[in-house]
Amino acid sequence: MIFTAGQIAGILEGELEGNPDIAVHKLAKIEEGEQGSLTFLSNPKYTPHIYTTKASITIVNKDFIPEHSLDTTLIKVEDAYESFSKLLEYYDQVKNDSRKGIENPSYISESATYGEGLYLGAFAYIGSNAVLGKNVKIFPNAFVGDNTVLGDNVQVWAGAKICSESVIGNNCVIHSGAVVGSDGFGFAPSKNGEFTKIPQTGNVILEDNVDVGTGTTIDRATLGSTILRKGVKLDNQIQIAHNVEIGENTVIAAQTGIAGSAKIGKNCMIGGQVGIVGHVTIGDRVRIQAQSGVGRNVKDDEVLQGSPAITYGDYNKSYVHFKNLSKLNKRVHKLEKKKSSE
């Protein structure tokens, strides 16, 4: 797709400085910009590149004042990073809106219903009594199980699987390879040492505007629902176990694992490779640093690090001693030798 500087300025409600008719058809980092590309400048560290970039159009903050001549057309906005993200979202929407219709071979159950604007890619499957809203995009090789509900503008990318009874809200994105609604890890030990499967009869509910990353798995509840509230954003390769609840606008980075029945508050930020044990309650606005292990209830606004996780301040104080343990050990040995020789 091709956009002119004038069109982009209109979309972003920005101020144009330069040629309104110059066109771009691709995106680039500012240091790698070339003719026909669009870039942006938000981090002052990259300011020198704006004087050498070959990008046709550059989005900048309104307070940017060039100190040298420029070869690029500027679009000035309040926040260059936010505006560039908005433009990417707009581009993605335009690109995906062009996908409509049902490709063959694919399968839609006779009892399934769907709204206008459906795109169903080749080899996709829609199960019995599934209900799909308007402008739903189901990409090739995706699976939507029986009795599943998908809201408006949902995107299910190639190879993703939404298992039976799942409820997906409006504007959700399920990326390739993700699995929503598979059985939870429920087994009961028997007297002979074997483990018996506990049927998982619940479901998964994703409220509006939830993103589920590639390869992420969200297990159905044993009873009731595993629930992700509106605005939750999950990175790739995350495990959400049965009956977990995650509050609004919480973001979780890759390779995090959350055990069954954990309750996580809203507006939390959880780093990569974090482990959270089952049946704990984590408050609102909690921040958990990468590779931490959380095994206790956490109050609102706490910042945690370490395994087992402690408060961020305590961890930093303790780390001073961790890294000096070898020196301290040598000092103790010297003192012991001195004491024994007296």
Active-site residue list: 242
Task: Say if CB 288 and CB 312 are below 8 A apart.
Answer: no
Cα(133)–Cα(289) distance, integer angstroms: 38
Provide the H-helix boundaries in 50-160. 80-97
Choose among 251, 201, 261, 254: nearest CA to 229: 251
Choose among 99, 51, 46, 44: nearest CA to 74: 51
Backbone angles phi, psi at 95, to 5 degrees: -65, -45
Vertex 323: Cα angle to 311 and 321 (nearest 5): 55
Q: Is 328 helix (H, G, I), strand (E, B) or coil?
A: helix
Task: Say if CB 163 and CB 144 are below 8 A apart.
Answer: no
